[in-house]
C-alpha cells in the first residue's frame, strides 16, 4: 500500500448502481454498455486487488473478435464511460438486482443514510462517495495509479 487508499477487499461483491440509465450515457460503446448492465444486474466479485486498482476479467474464444465487435479497442481498455464512482460493495447477494449497498465499515446493510466514511479512514484521502459506495479509482495499491 502506498498510503493513498485501500483497495476493495478480495472476495467483495460489487455492483454498479442499478438506478443509472446506462443507455443515456453519452459516448458509451456497446461493449461498455454490456459490461455496465451486467454489473448492475449480476454484479461481480473482486478476485485480486494487487497491481491495477480494479480489473475486469472475461472469457471468450481465443479466435474470437469479441472486443472489436463490442466497440472495444482490445483486452486492456479503460472503459471510461462506465460511471465507476457509482460502483458499490454489497453486504448480501441473493441474485437479481440488489438496491441496498453495504455499509463499507461494518458489512451491514445500509439504512439509506449517507455514509461518507471511506473503507480505510486512516489511509484514504477522505473522498468517500456516500451511501456505502466506494470509488475504485480512489483505491490504490503498491503500484500507484494506472
CA distances from 87 to 44, 64, 69, 83, 106 (A): 10, 29, 25, 7, 18
DSSP calls for 12-79: -EEEE-TTS-GGGSTT--HHHHHHHHHHHHT-EE----SSSS--------TT--HHHHTT--SSS---
Q: Give the model's pLDDT for residue 27.
A: 93
**Number of Cα atoms under 13 Å in the Cβ half of residue 116:** 3
Residue at grid coordinates 465507476: 84
The pLDDT value recorded for residue 117 is 29
Q: 37 falls in which pLDDT band (50, 70, 90)?
A: very high
**Quick one: pLDDT band at residue 25, thresholds 50, 70, 90?**
very high
Q: Which pLDDT band, with edges at 50, 70 and 90, does 106 fall under?
A: very low
Residue among 10, 88, 3 at smallest CA distance from 43: 88
For residue 102 the three cell numbers come to: 453495504
pLDDT per residue over 63-78, tens digit each? Answer: 778 777 787 776 667 7
Mean predicted lDDT score pLDDT of the chain: 66
More confident residue, 1 or 117: 1
Please give the residue that has the higher pLDDT: either 117 or 8.
8
Amino acid at each position: 500500500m502506498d498510503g493513498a487508499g485501500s483497495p476493495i477487499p478480495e472476495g467483495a461483491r460489487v455492483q454498479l448502481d442499478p438506478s443509472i440509465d446506462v443507455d443515456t450515457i453519452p459516448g458509451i460503446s456497446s461493449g461498455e454498455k454490456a459490461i455496465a448492465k451486467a454489473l448492475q444486474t449480476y454484479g461481480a466479485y473482486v478476485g485480486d486487488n494487487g497491481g491495477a486498482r480494479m480489473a475486469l476479467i472475461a472469457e471468450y474464444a481465443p479466435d474470437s473478435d469479441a472486443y472489436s465487435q463490442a466497440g472495444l479497442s482490445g483486452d486492456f481498455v479503460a472503459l471510461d464511460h462506465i460511471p465507476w464512482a457509482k460502483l458499490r460493495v454489497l453486504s448480501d447477494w441473493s441474485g437479481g438486482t440488489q438496491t441496498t449497498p453495504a455499509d463499507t465499515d461494518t458489512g451491514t446493510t445500509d439504512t439509506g443514510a449517507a455514509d461518507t466514511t471511506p473503507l480505510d479512514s486512516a489511509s484514504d484521502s477522505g473522498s468517500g462517495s456516500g451511501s456505502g459506495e466506494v470509488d475504485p479509482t480512489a483505491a490504490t495499491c503498491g503500484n500507484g495509479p494506472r
